[in-house]
Amino acid sequence: MKIKKILLISLAGVAAITLVAVMVVKQQSGYTKVLTGKVVRQDLATIVSGTGQIKPKTYVNLGATAMGRVTHLYVREGDQVKKGQVVATVENVQQEANVSGQKAAIAAANTDISAYQAAEHTQDANLAHAKADLEQKRLDYERAQGLYHAGVMAKQDFDAKKAAYDTSVASVSQAQAQFNQAKAQTDSARGHLRTQEATLRANQDLLNKTIATAPFDGVVTNEPIREGETVVEGIQNTVGSTFMTLADMSVVTAEVKVDETDIINVRLGQTVDVTVDALPGKVFKGHVTLVGDQALLRSSGIATSQSTTGTEEAKDFKVVVTLDQGSDELRPGLSCTAKITTAHKPNILTLPIQALTLFDPNAAPSKDKNAAPAKAKSNPVQGVFVAQQDSHGRLRAKFIPVTTGITGATEIELLGGLNEGQEIVTGPYKILRELKNDSLLKRDTVKVNLSSGASS
């Protein structure tokens, strides 16, 4: 009897639970569970991303300018160098000997010039003496002329005075010629000296080419050569022609590639956040300083104008970002990601991007559940489904066309159609795609909570 009573009670409980379940299902039949969100006011920014590597704005491959064996490498990879600092030398015995010999020749030429200048001064003095003697002889000759014409002086004495005067004139001409010769010898010696000095500059240049110096303050980023190896003059980056690579890290850039679909929004001066894979958690501020105008093939990095293949593939464009401040932690070649802010609007109305859908408000819904699916919408418009209560307090979907503006990561700008705080349907995508106007809705609170938790 007791067992029968327990069995009856159990059956009654199962019946009650079944009745409640049937009533709940019946009550919820015709409702569509949806995720909802709200139109909110916030700051919104459009971000374009690109990946690439850190590069110095100024760098140089310091190449060999003379052939020979490397005798000294004064710096190593990673060392800091100053402008004008000697970083490497090539054997230069012959060049040093040529410079020393030419310096000796110049010293001898200077001695010769001094001797010629002394001879020039001597001849100048002789010329002055001859001119003074000529003046004396001229005065004697003029007095002799007066005395001779007056009949006081004998013709023999007059002829002697005249001969003395003529001899002085000849002596002045001779002294003048000797002075001019001495001066010409001095000028010739000076000309030879200038030739010797030009030869010295040429020899010094050849010697200087065996000594490599830093063209600016920077850091050694690559050193492919070792002491004792032979370097040759050649094209940049060929084996054996480069001592090292120097980079000026005072101005650092990030050279990244941006997808062709995003490049039209990138402009000079736009702000950028640069993150480096090797420095997690650090963000470097910068701005766009160059936007490439040549498309690059994504697979090879070759410009499309240089490609010989006719295969269509995705393309990128080069964008150079200059960092506002450098850092000792940055190294050339580090992988980085640049997030370029192409648009920014503060305190604007926004809605979740996933809430947008295409819907034809004029399409009449089918009342026959077994009818064939309707044809594709002929004139769909962009809009959202607003979740609003009807006169009986039930939640229904109402499609409202909207106009939008800039796009953020998960939000989009609302330009018109809705007001702040209105509740809108945001998903799931499959339900949103098939949702009809005036459909009964039920908030999927569990999924909403999970979604909001993840987004925060």
Report CA dihedral (271, 275, 276, 279) to the nearest 10 degrees: 130
Whether the link from the prior residue into 428 is cis, omega within 30° of 0, is yes
CA 83 to chain centre: 21
Separation in Å, CA 199 to CA 102, 190, 203, 206: 7, 14, 6, 11
Alpha-carbon gap, residue 80 to 284, rounded angstroms? 23
Model confidence at 7: pLDDT above 80: no
- Phi and psi at 453, nearest 5°, equal -65, -40
Distance CA 384, CA 274 (A): 35
Q: Alpha-carbon distance 357 to 398, whole Å? A: 13
Per-residue confidence (pLDDT) for residue 303, from 0 to 100: 81
Structure tokens at 250: 């005072």
Return d(Cα 387, Cα 32) in angstroms, integer: 12
pLDDT band at 444, cuts 50/70/90? Answer: confident
Asked whether the predicted pLDDT for residue 326 surpasses 90, the reply is: no
Instruction: Examine the pLDDT at 174 and tell me if it is beyond 50.
Output: yes
Task: Using the predicted structure, report yes or no on whether residue 254 has a pLDDT greater than 50.
Answer: yes
d(CA 109, CA 180): 20
The CA distance from 228 to 223, in Å, is 14
| pLDDT over threshold 90, residue 48 | yes
How would CATH label the architecture of 48-58+251-345?
Beta Barrel (2.40)
Q: What is the reported pLDDT for 280?
A: 93
| pLDDT per residue as tens digits for the range 67-89 | 899 999 999 998 999 999 999 99
> If pLDDT is split at 50, 70 and 90, which confidence band does 55 have?
very high
Q: Are 62 and 244 in contact (CB under 8 A)?
A: yes
Question: What residues pair up with 322 in beta bridges, in sequence order?
Answer: 253, 287
Task: Encode pLDDT of 260-288 as tens digits.
Answer: 999 999 999 999 999 999 999 999 999 99
455 has pLDDT over 70: no
CA-CA-CA-CA dihedral for 83, 89, 94, 98, to nearest 10: 10
Count of CB atoms situated within 10 Å of the CB of 205: 12
pLDDT at residue 57 in the model: 87
d(CA 212, CA 73): 10
pLDDT at 337: 96
Task: Determine the pLDDT at residue 310.
Answer: 60
DSSP 193: H
Residues 6+ away with beta carbon under 8 Å from 446: none
Do the two domains 31-44+347-366+375-455 and 48-58+251-345 of this chain adopt the same fold? no
Share of the chain above pLDDT 70, in %: 85
Task: Say how far apart CA 289 and CA 270 lie, in whole Å.
Answer: 9
pLDDT of amino acid 420: 92
Residues in CB range of 85: below 8 A, 6 or more apart:
74, 75, 213, 214
Residue that has been written with the tokens 């997690």 in this structure: 280
Burial class (CB in 10 A: 0-12, 13-18, 19+), 95: buried
262: number of CA atoms within 13 Å, CB side?
20
Average pLDDT over every residue of 173-189: 91
pLDDT of residue 314: 85
Q: What is the mean pLDDT of residues 441-446?
A: 80
Residues 303-312: tens digit of each pLDDT: 877 776 666 7
Q: Which residue has the higher pLDDT, 330 or 284?
A: 284
pLDDT digit string, tens, across residues 102-131: 999 999 999 999 998 999 899 999 999 999
Sheet holding 68-73, edge to edge: 211-213, 86-90, 68-73, 230-231
Fold of the domain built from segment(s) 31-44+347-366+375-455: 2.40.420
Per-residue pLDDT at 1? 52
Q: What is the residue extent of each domain of the chain?
A: 31-44+347-366+375-455, 48-58+251-345, 94-208
Tokens of 158: 């007059």
- Mean pLDDT across 319-347: 92
In this predicted model, what pLDDT tens digit does every residue of 360-391 receive, in sequence order?
877 655 444 454 455 554 688 999 999 998 88
Using 50, 70 and 90 to split pLDDT, how confident is the model at 25?
very low
Q: Distance (Å, rounded) from C-alpha 74 to C-alpha 212?
A: 10
Peptide bond into 380 cis (omega under 30): no
Beta pairing class for 40-63 and 86-90: unpaired
Look at residue 18 in the predicted model and tell me its pLDDT. 56
Please report the pLDDT score of residue 49 as a whole number. 93
Of 146-150, 391-395, 401-405, highest mean pLDDT: 401-405
Give dist(CA 407, CA 72) in Å, integer.
Answer: 59
